[in-house]
Amino acid sequence: MEPKTRAALIELNRAFYTRFAREFAQTRQSWPPGFRSILPYLQPAFNLLDLGCGNARLLHFLYAQGWRGHYTGLDGSAELLALAEGSAQHLAGLQPRFVRADLAEEDWGACLDLHGGHEAARPDAVAALAVLHHIPGARQRAGFLAQVAGIAKGVLVVSTWQFLAPRLRTHILPWQAAGLSPEAVEPGDYLLSWGQGAAGQRYCAFIGEEALAVLAASAGMQLIETFYADGHEGNLNLYGVLRRGSRE
């Protein structure tokens, strides 16, 4: 993917979450069923890093299940982070940290204070829910996972949106609607509408089980479990649980 196209896609999503942050957060108040399935992987983590934390929905879910620990949430939207910080003030006994970082940029990890890479400072678990499909470029997605592999002591839990189901295909827009040509993007890249009257536009890559396995292997990680959950048919999201590979 050409740098100019990649920059345009990053800006497209950045503009979306700036404009629709509050409305988007309103659609992310309840907990999807998949959260119950990933709970056993995240609940033991004393240090948790939540990449693409949005309005901190995952934090509120974990808190309701009795989780107490050190939480750091990263997101590229200042508006969503402000909502997250405001709601987290009501979580007694927690002092979550929220940091602005655009995960689609290759230097996103520079904002983390890992004390020189010491083992004790690294998160016990990392969540990256609904993040991978917003990172333009297969090479960049593999690079993102490789960075996470160098950070996490334990598991990485990811989810990717399975938006090619028949009832969701109506959200697919022609690339010309964003001023781009289909030839400029990579196979599996889509422009999706959001909201009433298709007022919002977002870039998403379709990442199924095979593509997720390829990404994990290229990043030196082991894909130890995958499953589908959420939505009316129980297959709206693909979840994956990854660990650092033995070659490290």
* Phi, psi (rounded to 5 degrees) for 207: -125, 105
Number of domains in the chain: 1
The stretch 230-247 carries a mean pLDDT of: 88
Range of the structural domain that residue 42 is part of? 3-108+115-244
**d(C-alpha 69, C-alpha 1), whole Å:** 40
Place of tokens 């002092």: 95
Q: What does the block give as tokens for 49?
A: 């890093």
Residues 7, 191, 181, 214, CA torsion sign: positive
Digit-coded pLDDT (tens) for 61-83: 999 999 999 999 999 999 999 99
Q: Mean pLDDT for the chain?
A: 92
pLDDT of residue 247: 43
Name the burial class of residue 115, with classes exposed (0-12), middle (13-18) and buried (19+) by CB atoms within 10 angstroms of its CB.
exposed
User: 183 pLDDT exceeds 70?
Assistant: yes
pLDDT of residue 246: 54
- What CATH number is associated with residue 225? 3.40.50.150
pLDDT of residue 27: 85
pLDDT of residue 28: 84
Digit-coded pLDDT (tens) for 1-15: 899 999 999 999 999
The stretch 212-216 carries a mean pLDDT of: 96
238 confidence band (pLDDT: 50, 70, 90): very high
Single pTM value for the model:
0.93
**d(C-alpha 177, C-alpha 196), whole Å:** 16
User: 150 pLDDT exceeds 80?
Assistant: yes
245 confidence band (pLDDT: 50, 70, 90): confident
